[in-house]
Structure 1
Amino acid sequence: MRAKKVLFTSTNAMAYHFLIPHVKSLIDEGYIVELACSNLDGYDELLRSRLIGAYKSTIHYVRLNRNPFKFSNIKGYFEMRKIISTGRYDLISTNEPVMGLVTRLAARNERKKGTKVSYTAHGFHFFKGAPFKNWILYYPIERFLARYTDIIITINKEDHNRALKFKINKIEQIPGIGIDTEKYSKVVIDKARKRRELGVTIDEAFVILSVGELNENKNHEVIIKAVAKLNNPYVFYVICGKGKLENYLKDLAKKLGVDQQVKLLGYRKDIDEICKSADIFAFPSKREGLGLAAIEAMATGLPIITSNVHGIVDYSTDGVTGYICNPTDVHSFAQAIERLLKNDELRINMGIQNMQIANKFRLEASIGKLKKIFGEVLSNE
């Protein structure tokens, strides 16, 4: 019997950071797995370096841009259609909005011949509280594309309930793409030394940590403003991540007089150790399909202060995991920080609770669920 053949489509960055464990799991089950990726600088060799030996997979590249209005996406569409038409795939699993759009349109003919198409929504752009333009643009597109999709997989409850309104046969929810909870829960560090490495030299410092790209959606500026509002020189805010707002955030911290307390560390590979050196984790995003960075912080035993939007509310509970705030409410974030700053016992208890909650999102659970879903889809051919 011919081995089932699966194609994953995404950016090579998403494939590298999130999809490799799922690719390897399917290969272990006897599937033939290939990838079709749009290229983000610096990830090609990284991706190939993790798919070697028994897990070596064919990686196709297509010219796609995250901006849906870029002309180059037309070329990418035809490249994707050629890959799909010649690949003889049993299942195509696509990820991300633009890639999901192009892949599903390109797979229309092969779908008529029996190829199954799955779309994993890592967070719809239309959600409760989303800008009106998102509803006008993304919602009708997703409803339209549902007709070319056999299964939609969501990673949060709100998106799952929304997808139930689409005309589609199968809708499933998985616990995100999974995290290595053991890696984060068992890491041991010299806390004082790690803090000095990060530029936090005050022994009595209270350290708030955020991890994420420096962009408008991640909303780091609300925490910088909250730190300034507290007017406490012992409160430090450490941010791991790169992005176009780096200079803006530095200028904002300087303008508010907290530039010595705000540390922008850039991209880091030691997030587990940095989590262990912090006191709390801040996650004030305006939109998140789920938000793995916050769940990783929970796995290390940190209480979390988050916004009250989208997939974040699936695991963030006010007064239990930490505190939740409106993403633009500087006063509420400052108040939440101060509550945790003044109550060591509360922080410890919340951290213990969060380690247990994070286990629901462990990698093994996500891999098992996705493998089961794919098996069911293919068995119904």
Structure 2
Amino acid sequence: MKILFVATLSNTVNSFLVPHIKLLIRKGHNVDVAFNKKRQPSQELLDLGCRIFEVEFQRSPLKKKNIHAYKRIKKIITNEKYDLVHTHTPIASLITRYACKNIGGLKVLYTAHGFHFLKGSSIKNWLIYYPMEKIAAKWTDGLITINNEDYFRANNSIRLRKPNSSSVFKTNGIGLNLSKFSPTSAEKKINLRRKYKYSESDFILVYVAELNSNKHQDLLLDSLSLLKNKIPNLKLLLVGEGKLESLYKERVNNLGLSSNVDFLGFRTDIPDLLKLADVGVASSKREGLPVNVMEVMATGLPLVVTNTRGHNDLVVNEENGYLINGNDTNGFASAVYKLYSNEDLRRKLGEKSIKKVEEYSEENVLEQLDGIYSLYI
């Protein structure tokens, strides 16, 4: 069969979807890919021999370029006569599902990597994204969710699934390659710290995420300002790029945290950066099912995270980490200090993380996806 994968940006495919494409190719299907090339396609994707179509999808639904993106994806789907289109990310998925409507014999799957409307999100998000998903549901043969809140909402709302259809599914995320992330010994951790010029006595927090308002790194910076005089050699590694980088750097200077925060930018050595850390942190306002948290869990670290959808699928409070409500800077700082003060607690919570993340392995997710695909191809 001919299958097209669609995402707003190439980054999504490069980072998360190549194993899914491999699964389909192993089954004998031909798979093409369409996205906006923010970054070049990964070599692994190129080696699979997929044809790649560039479509200038925009992340904002209000951008005029999305009109051109619609015309482009419509032409591709019409000319290539696909049997199945599997679309990811909200804007590309809305445009693509609209382009697919009324094409006979074509099946459409949509993976929601986290609805932009969720419990506690802004009225603006509900006004924009809920109607969008409600309208597009009637052009969707199967909806795949990756967290409990989205699955419950979609499965219990006829408006978020195709009328007279029960085709709402849930997978354990997009699958984590556990061979890339694993705990390390105390000796290797010390060696890694020497390599990266950190001290054995540093207490290191790590957050791998784009520097933007949703990832909410300012909560971490404000928490650090409460801890810098309580925890000697406290360090926060912010791994990622983003439009708020200069603003966050200014905030670091204003809070007197220049010696406590390292902005590491885009990195390809994430496994090593996690292994040298003591605690994983995450301050997002909204998540689907965050891979960065899974990576921390597989490395055997305890976590301090905001209590939001996606985080609370992965972190059980006081079992493998701590869930902190909203903008509770004091609560975040208190949880970090509790872990700093008790090495045995860090070890116990980290062990629970390792056990729990096995549910989200690439092997388990590919098996779940294979079962879903079998219903449509």
Q: CA deviation at 1:233?
A: 3.4
Q: Is the 8 A contact 2:109 2:140 kept in 1?
A: yes
1:350-361 to 2 correspondences below 5 Å: 350-361=349-360
Structure 1 partner of 2:25: 27
Q: Is the 8 A contact 1:200 1:236 kept in 2?
A: no
Q: Does 1:223 align with 2:220?
A: yes
Q: Does 1:212 align with 2:199?
A: no
Q: Does 1:86 align with 2:85?
A: no
Structure 1 partner of 2:255: 256
SS in 1 for 2:352: helix
Structure 1 partner of 2:317: 318
- Within the candidate set 68, 93, 115, 1:124 is matched to 115
Q: Is the 8 A contact 2:32 2:52 kept in 1?
A: yes
Structure 1 partner of 2:131: 140
Structure 2 partner of 1:50: 44
Q: CA deviation at 1:360?
A: 0.7
**Which amino acid is the alignment partner of residue 184 of structure 1?**
F
Q: Is the 8 A contact 2:143 2:161 kept in 1?
A: no
Q: CA deviation at 1:191?
A: 2.3
Q: Is the 8 A contact 1:276 1:300 kept in 2?
A: yes
**Which amino acid is the alignment partner of residue 325 of structure 1?**
I
**Which amino acid is the alignment partner of residue 30 of structure 1?**
G
1:143-292 to 2 correspondences below 5 Å: 143-164=134-155, 165=157, 166-168=160-162, 169=165, 170-185=167-182, 190-201=188-199, 203-230=200-227, 231=229, 232-292=231-291
Seq. identity, %: 36
Q: Is the 8 A contact 2:97 2:139 kept in 1?
A: yes
The farther-off stretch of 290-299 and 362-371 is 362-371
- Within the candidate set 57, 64, 84, 1:64 is matched to 57
TM-aligned CA distance change 1:167 to 1:218, over 3 Å:
closer
Structure 2: state its 5+ residue gaps.
none
The farther-off stretch of 224-233 and 99-108 is 224-233
The farther-off stretch of 182-191 and 101-110 is 182-191
The farther-off stretch of 180-189 and 299-308 is 180-189
**Which amino acid is the alignment partner of residue 131 of structure 2?**
P
SS in 2 for 1:36: strand
**Which amino acid is the alignment partner of residue 118 of structure 1?**
L
Q: Is the 8 A contact 1:157 1:314 kept in 2?
A: yes
Q: Is the 8 A contact 1:316 1:324 kept in 2?
A: yes
**Which amino acid is the alignment partner of residue 172 of structure 2?**
P
Kindly provide the CA deviation profile for residues 274-308 of structure 1, in whole angstroms up to 9, marking residues without a partner as x.
11100000011100001110111000100010110
Q: Is the 8 A contact 2:177 2:361 kept in 1?
A: yes
Q: Is the 8 A contact 1:222 1:327 kept in 2?
A: no
- Distance, in Å, in 2 between the alignment partners of 1:179 and 1:362 is 5
- Distance, in Å, in 2 between the alignment partners of 1:243 and 1:97 is 20
The farther-off stretch of 282-291 and 226-235 is 226-235
- Distance, in Å, in 1 between the alignment partners of 2:178 and 2:184 is 10
- Distance, in Å, in 1 between the alignment partners of 2:334 and 2:65 is 47
Kindly provide the CA deviation profile for residues 191-235 of structure 1, in whole angstroms up to 9, marking residues without a partner as x.
23432444534x321111111001111111111111110123321
**Which amino acid is the alignment partner of residue 173 of structure 1?**
K
Kindly provide the CA deviation profile for residues 4-52 of structure 1, in whole angstroms up to 9, marking residues without a partner as x.
1111001211111111111111101111111111221xx22x43x2134
The farther-off stretch of 78-87 and 246-255 is 246-255
Q: CA deviation at 1:101?
A: 0.6
**Which amino acid is the alignment partner of residue 57 of structure 2?**
L
TM-aligned CA distance change 1:343 to 1:186, over 3 Å:
closer
1:291-310 to 2 correspondences below 5 Å: 291-310=290-309
TM-aligned CA distance change 1:66 to 1:52, over 3 Å:
closer
Q: Is the 8 A contact 2:14 2:45 kept in 1?
A: no
- Distance, in Å, in 2 between the alignment partners of 1:210 and 1:347 is 17
Structure 1 partner of 2:35: 37
Q: Does 1:344 align with 2:340?
A: no
The farther-off stretch of 328-337 and 192-201 is 192-201
**Which amino acid is the alignment partner of residue 178 of structure 2?**
T
SS in 1 for 2:376: helix
Q: Does 1:362 align with 2:356?
A: no
Q: CA deviation at 1:366?
A: 1.2
Q: Is the 8 A contact 2:183 2:275 kept in 1?
A: no
- Distance, in Å, in 1 between the alignment partners of 2:362 and 2:337 is 33
SS in 2 for 1:119: strand
TM-aligned CA distance change 1:364 to 1:59, over 3 Å:
same
TM-aligned CA distance change 1:266 to 1:167, over 3 Å:
closer
TM-aligned CA distance change 1:17 to 1:167, over 3 Å:
closer
Aligned alpha-carbon RMSD (Å): 1.4
SS in 2 for 1:332: helix
Structure 2 partner of 1:114: 105
Q: CA deviation at 1:242?
A: 0.8
Q: Is the 8 A contact 2:161 2:168 kept in 1?
A: no
